[in-house]
Amino acid sequence: MSNIRNCTKCGKMFNYIAGDVICDNCKKEIEEKFQEVKKYIDENPGSGLKQISEACDVTSKQLKKWILEERLMFTENSPIQITCENCGARIQTGRLCAKCKATVTNALNDTVKQRQQALAAELAKKQQKQAEAKSGMKFLKT
Ligand SMILES: [Zn+2]
Ligand SMILES: [Zn+2]
C-alpha cells in the first residue's frame, strides 16, 4: 500500500510513511541544515535565535522545533532563554526541566501500574468465578 502525499516543503509528491510530511530530499536538506546550525551555535555560543536564523538561513520556527525535539542545546550564557513549561526553571533544551520530566515520567509509570493492578484484579476475579463454576458442577454431579 502506498500513501502518496505532497511534501510540505517543496510540494513534490512522494511516498509518505510517517512523521513530518516531508520528502526524503528535503529531509536530507533539513538534516544538513541542522548540522550547520549546530556547528554555528558551537562556534558562536552568544548568538540569539534571530542571528542564527539569519546566519544559517533557517526559520526561527525550525529552530524552535529542534529545541522542542531536544536536538539543540544552549549554554547558560546563551541569550536564548528556554524555560520549563511546568515550573519556569531555566533549561538548555526541550520543554521541561529534569525535575519536572521525572515527575511526569513517575506519573505515567503510576498510571501504568494502576492499570496493570486493575487488570490483575479482574483476571483473579474471573479465575475465581471459573473455579466456583467448576466446584458448582462437581456439587451437582454428586
Ligand atoms: Zn520536499
Ligand atoms: Zn520544571
Query: How sure is the predictor about 77, in pLDDT bands with cuts at 50, 70 and 90?
Result: confident
Report the separation in Å between the CA atom of 77 and the middle of ligand 1, taken as the mean of its atom positions. 36
Measured distance CA(10)–CA(19) in Å, rounded = 16
pLDDT of residue 138: 62
Per-residue pLDDT tens for 93-115? 999 999 999 998 888 888 888 99
Which residue is it, cell 474471573?
Answer: 126
**Distance from the alpha carbon of residue 112 to the mean position of ligand 2, in angstroms:** 22
91, burial (CB in 10 Å: exposed 0-12, middle 13-18, buried 19+): buried
Q: Are 22 and 8 in contact (CB under 8 A)?
A: yes
**Ligand 2 centroid from CA 100, angstroms:** 4
Q: What is the pLDDT of residues 118-135, one digit of tens each?
A: 999 999 999 999 888 877
What are the residue ranges of helices labelled H in the chain? 24-43, 49-56, 60-68, 98-141
Question: 34 alpha carbon to ligand 2 midpoint, in Å?
Answer: 27
Contact 92, 73 (CB under 8 A): yes
